[in-house]
Structure formats: C-alpha cells, structure tokens
Structure 1
Amino acid sequence: MKYPALLPFSELVNQLDQFDSIIDVRSPAEFALDHIPGAINCPVLNDLERIRVGTMYKQVNAFEAKKVGAALVAKNIALHIEEQFLQYPREWKPLIYCWRGGNRSGSMALILAKIGWPVVQLDGGYKAYRQHINTELSQLIGQFQYRVVCGTTGSGKSRLLQALHTQGAQVLDLEKLAEHRGSVLGDLPSTAQPSQKAFESAIWLTLRKFDSSKVVYIESESKKVGNLRVPDHLISCMRNSACISLQLPINLRVALLMQDYAYFISQPNELMKRLHYLTPLHGKEKIRHWQNLSEQDLLHDLVQELIEVHYDPSYLRSIERNFPQLGGMPTIHLNGIAELDFLQLAERLLAE
C-alpha cells in the first residue's frame, strides 16, 4: 500500500484498534465537541488560528488565506513531531483525520508519510465518521435484547449495574456515559456533561463491543439524562423489554442517597440552588421549608421528604406511563446497601 493511504470509514471501522494512534488534527474546540473514541488532539490550527484563517478566506481571498494557513500548519506540525512523535519507531501506524475536506489532515499525513511512517488518512474526515454513527447506531441498538432495571430513586439501580458489570455482564450505563445522575440533583461536581454527539459516540462504542447473543442490562431512564437526549430507538427498545424492579426500605434509600450525594453536604449553596429548580412543581413555601432543613443540617429529614414528596410520585407517574409491563415482572427486595449485597444480587440474576 502506498502511503499516505486515503481510506473511507466503512473500511476502517473494524480496524480502529489496529492503529497505534488516532490523531484528530482539528482545533481543540472542534475536538471537545466530539471525536472518534480513543483519538488524541494534535491541532494543526488552534482555535484562534482557525478563526484567523477562516476570516481571511471570507474577507480577503483564498490565496492569501492559504499562505498564512500553510505557515501556521507547518509550524504546528513541526511542534507535534518534536514534542510527541520523535519517540515512535518506523512501524508506528497512525490514523489521521480532520473535519471533512482533508486539507489539514492531508498536510500532516503527507509529512509523516515522507518520514517513513505507514500513515492512513480518513477520507471525509470527522463528518464521514459522524455519518456512519447516524446510520449505524439505530441498527446497532436494535440488535440486542435488553433487561431494564427499574426502581424508585435511591433503590440502588446504578449500584446494581456496577455490580453486574463487575460480574462480567453487558451493561449500558447511560448515566455514566452522560456524566449525570439523571435527576434535578444529578449534576456531578466539577464535571460538565459531554455534547450530544459525544454521548451518542459513547453509546455506539459501548454497544459495538457487545455480543448480540447476550442480554444488555440498562437502567429505566427517561428520554433525557440531564441535558442529553437518549436516542429514540433505544427508548423504544427499553420500553418494550423485560424489567426487574428493585425495592429498598425507605431508611436504606435515604442512607444510599446521602452516600451518593455526599458532595452536597460540603456545598450547601449548590444544594439550595438545586432545590430552587423545584419551585414550579412544589411552590415557594415548600422549597423554603426544604432549604431550612438544609440550613439546620437536617439532611436525613430533607432527603426523606424529597423521596416521599417529589421523587416517588414523579417516578410512579413515569413508570406507569412508560413501563406498563412492570406490574407483571419480578420484584427484588433488598435489605442492605453494602457492595456485597449488590454483588450477590448480580450473581443471582446472572445465574438465572
């Protein structure tokens, strides 16, 4: 094969693990929005440089913009070679891509190939990858049989998924992929949710590693996890799948939630802000009462009231509407929230 080789994503998708590096040469802002899973960012134009060259294209002309762009690209590629690539042997095999046209990725691919590395450039760039995701994700979702873990807030659904994963089960943990706990208090501290495209990429990457002959365990999510939308076909599959229902005594649910949301104890102002979001549902008087409980450090009482007044009624309305088959499915009563309790339950479920 002559290098740099220009290949379509359809030919590369099942060979991604064979590349030593997947290099995204787009700007950091483009990369942050979404990228091929496992890729590293080696921009040939940073964000400001990309804006500068793009503005010259529009306001001056393409020739002047290309001269400035070429100088910047050459300088940046040289820096990447010096700082990152000099350590690699002749056999190092990178896959390189940019947005679509191939100018940015083509520049790096040509130079690296001239050095002697077997470089492959993605034809059509990130846009070709994204088109593949849009086409394949729905088909991929439909290949699996799902078992949906249901249960009121604090019943341990996420912990059971973690235990199932530990036991070797196929688990699609949407909250983990979305970096959100799926409720008004669900934002993870100091962690921004990924973009919608990155979320879909993560779902695609997870499912394509699974065996379609085996069950996939998933939590009974709503259509959105935080600000991210769950793919419609996945929602449809979930709502037509077999379910299991977890139940915990109220005191254990309170204890579990206080463990999972412990960071609010050290950030009372953040808790106050989150409670304020519930004002349209419960009114100012109720919200002020809950804020008073927080200020008085009566967190056990606050969590129990949130469960009984907010979470449970909301969950029951949603589950009856979206999972009507749940009534005929098995209910599992847990009497402990230690890691061993969930591991033993996972082992029992898999044995069945």
Structure 2
Amino acid sequence: MASIKSPLQMPSPLTTLQFEALLLSNRPMFDVRAPIEFDKGAFPNVVNLPLMLDHEREEVGTCYKKQGQDAALALGHQLVNGDTKDSRVKQWHAFSSAHPDAVLYCFRGGMRSKISQQWLADTGIVVPFVEGGYKALRTFLIERLDELVEELPAFVLSGRTGTGKTEILPQFDRTIDLEGIAKHRGSSFGKYIEEQPSQINFENNLAIALMQLNKEAKTPIVYEDESRLVGCRLLPISLQNKLKSSPIMVLHDNFEARVERIFGEYVVKAIAAWEQELVAPNEAFLAFGDSLIQSVFRIRKRLGSEAHKHLVKLLDQSLELQTKQGDLSAHKGWISYLLTHYYDPMYDYQLSLKQDRVVMQGTSSDLVTWYKTSQCNTLNTH
C-alpha cells in the first residue's frame, strides 16, 4: 500500500555530530525495530514501538532474500495495513504528542525509519530520525567509550570482600558504579533477583555515564576494583587495561564489620528481596536457599573439595536453623568461613601482584579525605 505524501516538510536526520548531545540530553526516542532486535540492545529513555512484530519482520526478511527489495516492501505493506497499521501509527502519535522533541530510529536509518516518519507525518506530526539508525548510534558509543576510558585518568578503589567499597563509592566526587550498571555485586554470591542487562546495554550505559562525566570535568574517575567480568557482563578491553594500570586505593575494615556487612547484603536483604518477588514465605525461603547453594557450587573447584564440603555443611546448618526457628544468625558462620578460606587469600594474593600501584590505604574516611585533598592539590597546581 503506497503512502500518501505529506505536505509537511521533513526535518533533516540527526547525524553523528549530534549523537553525543542527543544521548546526554535524555531526549525521548522510540525504536521502530522489532521486539527481538530491541531486546538485544537499545539506549536509555527509549521505548520500543515497532513498525513490524517479530514474525512479520521474519517474513519480510525471507521475502527480501528470495525475491528482492520491491517484493519485500510490498509484503511489508500487506502485513502492516488497515487496523494493524492504524494501531501502530496511533502509538507513535501518542508518544510524539506527549514528547514534542521525540526522535525515532530503526536499525540502519533506512526504509523502516522513512516509512514510520512518513506515516506519522500523514497524521500531522513530524519527527526526525537518526541517520544510520541504531547501528550508527551503537558504533558511536563503542568508539566514544574507548576514547574516554583512555583520556580520563582513574583511581581504582580496592579492598577485601565486605569492606564496603560500594557503600563509600558515592563519597568520591566522580565515580563509575560498574556493579550498579551491571546489576551485579561482582562476586560469586553477588547475583540479584533482577536479571542483568544485556552485554550491549551494559556497554551503552557505561559509555553514556563516561560521556556525562567528561562533560562535567576532566579530573580522575574512581572505579571499584573488578575482574574482567561483573557477573556475566564483560568489561570492555580498554577498561580492563585501565583498571590494570591505574593507581589503587585500598579500603580496610575489621573482620567482624565485614561479616556483618555481607550478612546484611547476602542474607537479610536477599531474603527481603525474594519475599517481595515471590510473596509466599515458603517459596521465598526455597529460592533464597537455592541461590546460596548454586553460588557455593560455582566456586567448588577454586575452593577445593574439603573446604567446599565444610562450607556446604555450614550452609545447610544455617538454612535448617532458619527453617526451624527463624534464626538467621548461623549464616554468619559460613560467611566467616568463606572469607577466611576463599575471598581473603585470593584477594591478598592478587593485591601482592600490584603493590607498586597502591597509593593509599586506610579506612573509608582516610581514603575519602586523602582523595579530596589530593584532587584539591592537583587543581591548585594547574
């Protein structure tokens, strides 16, 4: 079905020179790709209002391969016609009416963007699209991420498990919360109930966070010390290298405080999250216990057979006491054992390999005071 030419003048597409401002402005965007494409990766403040659904896109794609572009375009108009077309255009119209500065994009900024723009213009609303579409925005972000990681100086906030690195991170002026962006605490026991973002979304959000900090200043960024993986999300190679070469601040806290902190995160808060997710107390308890058992299983090889068996025994005893008496205190036993026999030896060994990069060690107040003083001194010398 041929589109009616709109008398409205179409705006120029947004080009690469405008991408950074577009992404930093939180300007509303709608993505007309199929849901399966959107789920693999998108950008913040974007909603998926597809031109074609997954099965329609698949049919059109097959037709394109076998019969060419004209046949595929004709099939697309046949599939998205009548009430189906009206319903989708109404969604675009509603979004664009609510957000007068809206922008749309498809995968490559080609036919789908132009058709969507034209159909929307036929209703009296003109919306620009992104030149090159999602692919161009994605390429821009990946390149910008690597540039900014290289350009912006950094400090690494390190410390044994449970010292509260994530807690004090906001006290530094300029930080990137890798665990927050990845939605994972970074350790074997750090999985949230909420699923992690896709690898693409993790990288996109990281790039935008760096762009925002770069816009504000060029002073150092503080990253929490992470391995190459945060949960199942891989740090970009450029950032892995940055963390391996930047100066380190080491956070200290006493053993008892660390146990209490981990107990609060991995037991008390975890149980509350499961209860909120599953409502039924019995289901929440089973899910909580299963998540701990899976976490212990994942580290069995690195932990060693005997230590693994003992840790499982302590965990079983804790879950049993929790079941019979509602007492959570026994969980501190397996947490203490885990720190002593797994996390601390591993961390101490890793830190011994990078002692030459350690510039400050101390409590949270020690590190924050030193960092702010050192930054003031740096600014005053320029």
Deviation, 1:9, is: 2.8
Instruction: Tell which deviates more after alignment, 226-235 or 108-117.
Output: 108-117
Preserved contact between residue 94 and residue 118 of structure 1 (Cα < 8 Å)? no
| Alignment match of 1:252 (pick from 254, 257, 261) | 257
1:129 aligns with 2:141: no
How many angstroms apart in 2 are the aligned matches of 1:213 and 1:310?
Answer: 38
- Give the stretch that moved more between structures: 138-147 or 87-96: 87-96
> In 2, distance between residues paired with 1:41 and 1:325?
49
Q: How does 1:93-172 map to 2 (within 5 A)?
A: 93-100=101-108, 102-164=110-172, 169-172=173-176
In structure 2, the CA distance between the partners of 1:93 and 1:183, relative to structure 1 (3 Å rule), is same
Distance 1:232 1:305 in 2: 34
Question: Is 1:270 the counterpart of 2:299 in the alignment?
Answer: no
Give the equivalent residue in structure 1 for 2:351: 319
User: How far off its partner does 1:11 sit?
Assistant: 3.1
Q: Does 1:235 align with 2:257?
A: no
1:287 corresponding residue in structure 2: 308
What's the secondary structure of 1:182's corresponding residue? coil
Moved more, 247-256 or 81-90: 81-90
For 1:250, the aligned partner's letter is F
Kindly indicate whether the alpha-carbon contact (under 8 Å) linking 1:7 and 1:120 is maintained by their aligned counterparts in 2: yes
Asked whether the 8 Å contact 2:93–2:123 carries over to 1, the reply is no
1:204 counterpart letter in structure 2: A
Larger CA deviation: 308-317 vs 71-80? 71-80
Give the deviation of 1:161 after TM superposition.
1.0
Q: Which residue type is aligned with residue 65 of structure 2?
A: K
Residue 139 (structure 1) shift: 1.0
In the alignment, residue 236 of structure 2 is paired with which amino acid?
Answer: P
Tell me which stretches of 4 or more aligned residues in structure 1 moved more than 6 Å: none
User: Which residue does the alignment assign to 1:302?
Assistant: 334
Residue-by-residue CA offset, 1:288-341 (whole Å, 9 max, x unaligned): 2211111111311100111111111111222233x33344x221135xxxxxxx
Q: Which has the higher helix share?
A: 2
Q: Which runs of 5+ in 1 are unaligned?
A: 335-341
Q: State the shift of 1:221 in Å.
A: 1.0
Please give the secondary structure, in 2, of the residue aligned with 1:142.
helix
Matches of 1:114 and 1:310, distance apart in 2 = 64
* 1:339 aligned partner: none
1:110 aligned partner, one-letter code = Q
Which range moves more in the overlay, 60-69 or 20-29?
60-69
Q: Which amino acid aligns with 2:293?
A: M
1:217 equivalent in alignment to 2:222: yes
What CA distance in whole angstroms lies between the structure 1 residues aligned with 2:35 and 2:98? 28
Distance in 2, matches of 1:19 and 1:345, equals 34
Q: Give the direction of change, closer, same or farther, for the CA distance of 1:311–1:53 in structure 2 (3 Å limit).
A: same
Percent identity, aligned pairs only, is 27
Match of 2:186 among 167, 182, 205: 182
| Alignment partners' CA distance in 1, 2:86 and 2:146 | 41
TM-score, structure 2 normalization: 0.80
Give the C-alpha shift of residue 212 in structure 1. Answer: 3.5
Ranges in structure 2 where 5+ consecutive residues have no aligned partner? 1-7, 272-284, 319-329, 375-382
Name the amino acid aligned to 1:238: L
Conserved? CA contact 1:23–1:96, under 8 Å: yes
1:213 aligned counterpart, secondary structure:
coil
- What is the aligned residue count? 337
